[in-house]
Structure 1
Amino acid sequence: MQTEIILLGHGSRSLEANHGLIKVANKVTHLVNRPVTPAFVSHGTPDLPSAIIVKILSGATRIIIMPLFLFRGMYVSTGIYEEIKDIKEQFPQIEIIVAKELGADDIIANLAYSRIKETIGHEFSDEPFQ
């Protein structure tokens, strides 16, 4: 089974912002030791359906979509599934899995804490949230 991974971000008119998603995809590529493709909801290429089709045409039998969104808003809850509905019908033999969004995770809280601390100094304790 050939598993492929797509890292899905919102996208922006700012190329610098879109480059951020590409940088994260490259970092995840090194962590999972396999290619991770960035895709964009809007204002960037490829869009999600295009990225999925490229993966299928290159031989993927399973595609994991990792939404790089903090919370489960409308797009994560329904929009992704609406975008991939036709592809799933056209390629029923391909397993397409949508991973859970980032969510209210301790890692996110610790990252926010780190950014606050680096912005205003060392007023806070050095103990991360647990």
Structure 2
Amino acid sequence: MEAVLYVSHGSRKKQAKEEAIHFLNRVQRQVNCELSHICFLELADPDVLEGIRKLVEKGADRIVIIPVLLLSAGHYFKDIPHEIEKAEAIYPDISITYGQTLGVQERITDVLVDRLKELPTEMDESANVLLVGRGSRHPDTKTSIEWIAGELKEKGRIRHIQTCYLAALSPRFPDEFEESLSNYSKTIVVPYLWFTGLLYDSLEKSVVNAKEKGHHVYLASYLNDHPNMVQSLVDRVNQALSKGEEEERIVK
């Protein structure tokens, strides 16, 4: 029996886990696979091995693992594969197919455009947009965020846009945020984050503090359950399911 295991990042914040589960429940309803389970890479339960165990107990002999991640970095290339290796040692007769992250897609940039439209301010020449990525030591992360910034600038008709990161990469958000407050009359912070969490909370705190000092600053919402996000992951799941079927035919 074929099954899908959704591996979300995880967070210490209860709301983040709830948002991820709500989102993935929507995806599950649109994917033609009767057996599936949700787990978390870190900071929340169940973990990956527990998720695989539950699927095996329910009769799964082919498992498609879907990384619920925006970009391909350390979690995708190292952490989840490490968990897969442990599972393969425990369940040598189980076939495991590993899916792809969402990666850079124009329809996800369209979500950012929609998030900007939700803000109670106009995108005029006085505004500077800070596109904020999580950050990673993997070299593709910076390239991806810069590509997204270029697309967002064009689609959102933005004159001033800069990229920055919350960890691992420079420039860091606190530095770029302070510089933007000093050089522009309006600053708009756009997080490239899927769900809420401690990182989004830190951005919100910075924006609130700046507003209290009299700055015109706005924080866009995270990507969350926008229809484009749901469809993007549904497509990734279907691609991985097709890949698993093809691999099985080759083995036979």
Q: TM-score if structure 2 supplies the norm length?
A: 0.46
Deviation at 1:120, TM superposition (A): 4.7
**1:98-130 CA-partner distances (Å, limit 9, x unpaired):** 1100110122111111111222567558xxxxx
For the Cα contact (< 8 Å) 2:37–2:55, is it kept in 1? no
Name the CA distance, whole Å, in 2 between partners of 1:48 and 1:7. 9
CA contact (8 A) 2:11 2:44 kept: yes
Aligned length: 124
Per the TM alignment, residue 22 of structure 1 is displaced from its structure 2 partner at its CA by 0.4
Q: Does 1:58 align with 2:58?
A: yes
Asked which structure has the greater CA Rg, the reply is: 2
Residues 33-52 of structure 1 aligned to structure 2 (within 5 Å)? 33=32, 34-52=34-52
Partner of 1:117: 117
Q: Is the 8 A contact 1:11 1:41 kept in 2?
A: yes
Q: In structure 1, give the amino acid aligned to 2:68.
A: L
- SS where residue 39 of structure 2 aligns? strand
What residue number does 1:67 align with?
Answer: 67
CA contact (8 A) 1:9 1:40 kept: yes
- How far residue 31 of structure 1 moved from its aligned partner, in angstroms, is 0.5
Instruction: Give the Å deviation of 1:36.
Output: 3.6
Structure 2 match to 1:3:
2
8 A contact 1:29–1:35 mirrored in 2: no
2:18 match:
19
The question of whether the paired residues in 2 share the 8 Å contact of 1:65 and 1:96 is answered with yes
Between 1:96-105 and 1:114-123, the stretch displaced more is 114-123
Question: Structure 1: any 5+ residue segments left out of the alignment?
Answer: 126-130
Report the equivalent of 2:94: 94
Residue in 1 that maps onto 2:29:
30
**Greater relative CO (CA pairs within 8 A, separation 6+):** 1
Q: What are the Cα deviations for residues 35-74 of structure 1, in whole angstroms up to 9, with x where unaligned?
A: 5422111121111110011111111011111111111111
Q: Which amino acid aligns with 1:7?
A: Y
CA RMSD of aligned residues (A): 1.8
Distance 1:103 1:20 in 2: 20
Equivalent residue number for residue 77 of structure 2: 77
2:17/2:44 contact within 8 Å kept: yes
Residue 105 of structure 1: aligned partner: 105
Conserved 8 A contact 1:6-1:64 = yes
Cα shift at 1:6: 1.5
Secondary structure of the equivalent of 1:4? strand
Residue 64 of structure 1 aligns to which amino acid in structure 2?
V
- Structure 2 segments unaligned to the other structure (5+ residues): 124-155, 158-252
- Code of the residue aligned with 2:63 in structure 1: it is I
Q: Kindly indicate whether the alpha-carbon contact (under 8 Å) linking 1:21 and 1:38 is maintained by their aligned counterparts in 2.
A: no
